[in-house]
Structure formats: structure tokens, C-alpha cells
Amino acid sequence: MKVGWILCSAAAALAIAALARAPWIPAGHEQAWLRFSWRMNLVATEACRPRTDAELAELPVHMRTPEVCTSDLADYFLVLRIDTASADTVALVRGGVKGDRPLFVLEERRIRPGTHDVQVELVRAAAARTVLASLDTRITVRSGEIVLITLDRDGDRLMVRSADDVRAGGTSAAAGQPNRRDHDDDAEHRAETREQRGPAAQRKHFR
């Protein structure tokens, strides 16, 4: 019996210790990944007009604001093209129950390890389709590596980050350099969002 409980206890302890470090190979580790992740504020288009005297008269005194406004949020899309594949358009969902929270992008694409041509466009589709930022680059990835494409802090250019960049404490300058077209678009975009035309006119502002 003494041998019995020693053997049982040893077996149980070994089983616990072995299962506490159960080896597992996650599926997809032999692949590489392209990850798109960033957060950006939305541009809302707000149309305001003065209230008429009749409207003001119908309202209680404390609710008589001089203007009535309606705001409209644009839709955003991510257009991805990897190598020669056809463009993949992803509708970006705005955060929050009302869809009025900042927009969060988190997309992943599994790719083969090696060198790939990657084209990315961030598109705002309001009255007109505007390319807010774009990236046309060539990346080289190893198996198990995740290459991150993100928007810079100013929100006006897309850039590439890899594990090596993070270890080096920065981003890949060559890969992260946006082309000329990006700068032009962004400048235009910023100018557009700064536009102010008085209280009764249509205006856009950041949420």
C-alpha cells in the first residue's frame, strides 16, 4: 500500500507538471501575416441652418437654440492589393453603438513567406471618393513574422513596421515612406477639414 500511494502521487504530480507545459504548435506559424491596425478620428459633415421664427415659437424657452444641425459621417474603406491579386475592398466599421466613435482598423491577411508587392489605400466615401492615405511598397517577410501596416501619429501617412523595426525602436524608413501622391491627398484632406464657413453654412469637423 505504501508503494501504491507513492506511485499514485508521483504519477499525479508528473501528469500535472507535464500538462502545465503541454507543447502546442499554433496553426499558421509557417505562414507570414500582414496586419493593418490603426485608430483614426472621423470627419463629420455637419449642415446647420437658422431656426425660423415659427419653429422657435413652438419650442419651450430653454430649448430655443438659434440653429438646427444635422451631421453626416462618411463611410471608410480599405483597398488592399497584394502582388497581382485583384483589389480587396474592406468596409471599415465605425466604433460605438451609434457608429460615432473613432474608427478602428484591425485586419489580417495570411501571406506566404517571401517578397510581396503591397498596395494599400484608405478611402473616404462621402459625396466624393477621397483617398486619405496610400502605400505602395515591397515587403519581405519570414515565416511566422507579422508585418504591421499602420497610420502614423498625425494620421496622414501609412507606414510599415516589422518585428525587426520594433526591436530597433522605430519603423522601416524605406518601406514607411509614403509616395508623393499621398502627401498631396493628405494636404488636400487637411485643408478640407479645416474649412469653416460660418454658423449657417455647411462645415466639417473632427469627432
Partner 1 sequence: MKPNAAYRALARVDAYVNRAYTARWNPLYHSGAIAVALLLVLIGTGVYLLFFYRLGAPYESVAAINGQAWSGRWIRGLHRFASDATLIAVAVHAFRMYAQRRSWGPRALAWISGVALVGLVLLSGWSGYILVWDAHAQLLATEIARLLDAVPVFSEPLSRSFSGEYEVPNAFFFITLFLHIALPLSIGLLIWVHVARVARPVLLPARPVLWGVAGTLALIAVVWPLPMERAADLLHMPEAVGIDGFFSFWVPITRGLSPWPVWVAVLAITLLALAVPWLTRPRLQPLSAPATVNERACTGCEQCVRDCPYDAIEMIARTDGRDGSVAKVRSELCTSCGICVGSCPPMAIGPGGVTARDQLAEVRAFIAAETLTEDNVVIVGCAWSAARVEAERHGARLLTVPCVGAMHTSTVELLLRGGAGGVLVVGCPEHDGRTREGVTWTAQRLFQGRRADLKARADARRVRLVQANVGECARLHDAVLAFGADIDALNNLSEEERIDLVGMCRSNGSRRSEAGR
Of 26-34, 74-82, 122-130, 182-190, which segment contacts partner 1 by CB under 8 A?
26-34
Contacts of 135 by beta carbon, 8 Å cutoff, 6+ apart: 118, 119, 120, 121, 149, 157, 158, 159, 160, 178, 179, 182
Q: Which of 24, 53, 61, 91 binds partner 1 (CB under 8 A)?
A: 24
**Please, what is the minimum distance in Å from the beta carbon of residue 148 to partner 1?**
5
Residues whose CB is less than 8 angstroms from the CB of residue 77 and which lie 6 or more positions away in sequence, other chains included: 89, 90, 91, 92, 122, 123, 125
Q: Restricting to residues 86-115, which ones interact with partner 1 according to CB under 8 A? A: 95-97, 101-102, 104, 106
Q: State the Cα–Cα distance between residues 139 and 151, nearest whole angstrom.
A: 17
Residues 164-183 that bind partner 1 (CB under 8 A): 166
Q: HSE of 98 in the Cβ direction (CA atoms, 13 Å)?
A: 6
Contact 124, 76 (CB under 8 A): yes
Q: Return the number of the residue (22 or 127) whose C-beta is nearest partner 1.
A: 22
DSSP state of 83: T
Residue choice 10, 69, 87, 173 for contact with partner 1 (CB under 8 A) = 10
Q: How far is the CB of 82 from partner 1 (least distance, A)?
A: 18
Quick one: which of 7, 68, 187, 201 contacts partner 1 (CB under 8 A)? 7
Binding site for partner 1 (CB under 8 A): 1, 4-5, 7-10, 12-14, 16-17, 19-29, 31, 33, 35, 37-39, 95-97, 101-102, 104, 106, 144-148, 150, 161-163, 166
